[in-house]
Amino acid sequence: MRPPIIAGNWKMNCLQREAADLAATLRRLLDGLEGVEIVVCPPFTALAPVRAALEGSRIRLGAQDLHWEAKGAFTGEISPAMLKDSGCTHVVLGHSERRHILGETNDMVNKKLKAALANGLTPIVCVGELLEERQMKVTREVVEKHVTRAFDGVSAQDAAGTVVAYEPVWAIGTGLTATPTQAQDVHHFTRNLLTRLYGEATANTIRILYGGSVKPDNIKGLMAEKDIDGALVGGASLQASDFNRIARYKE
């Protein structure tokens, strides 16, 4: 049984006070929730106040990116050790907005994944196709390239501690959502791909999340699918009441 994960990606939102208030509200609302792993990923500037607001709770702190080098002349970047020092346990890697707006490549995601694992961070590796790629019916080819290139050189033992997030780019921030059947199809394909890479035992330990306009009214349908192990939530994670309802999808 794979414990589900509900992760909130706050993206470039929330000043420090706003982030601390949101974290404190989530802590109160989610108190007592069991059987679901909760992660929140604020912007770098808000890591410290969110860490303080969550101190002693079961909510995990994640970051939205990292650089693969330990230190050096990399202006504007942040290292895995810096994230650990800030209290992070998770980190989002290869998000489509970084791939398609900022030019992040599969090779860069691979380096970041290895750096996260080497520093004891749980990577949430994002994969997914553009609208035109889905229309061209090459979704599986795109996802296969994202997964195989990201995990190149990663051992089965290390892969077992990772998380994959399938995010169809056409459904991020658009209000469109893959149907549970569409999402399950790609998740099942991804699980089979991981089985091919690492064997069934390892593939069955890797949680595969769905991301793309996840909301309280569609989470139950998504989570009913066999290979969907949670959600990477964008806009709805900035509304405490919505994120609470998503996290409590079993109730």
Tell me, what's the pLDDT at 225?
97
Band (pLDDT 50/70/90 cuts) for residue 40 is very high
Is-catalytic flag, 167? yes
CA distances for 229 relative to 6, 85, 236, 242, angstroms? 9, 28, 18, 19
pLDDT greater than 90 at residue 215: yes
Sequence-ordered list of residues with C-beta below 8 angstroms from that of 172, at least 6 positions apart, any chain: 96, 97, 211, 212, 213, 234
CB atoms within 10 A of CB 119: 17
CB atoms within 10 A of CB 110: 21
Residue ranges making up the domain that contains 108: 5-68+76-247
The active-site residue out of 37, 129, 167, 187 is: 167
The active-site residue out of 67, 90, 95, 146 is: 95
Half-sphere exposure of 238 (CA within 13 A, CB side): 14
Tell me, what's the pLDDT at 172?
79
Whether 88 contacts 62, CB under 8 Å: yes
- Domain count for the chain: 1
CATH of the domain at 190: 3.20.20.70
Whether 210 contacts 228, CB under 8 Å: yes
Q: What 3-state class would DSSP assign to 121?
A: coil
Least confident of 31-45, 96-110, 117-131, 160-174: 160-174
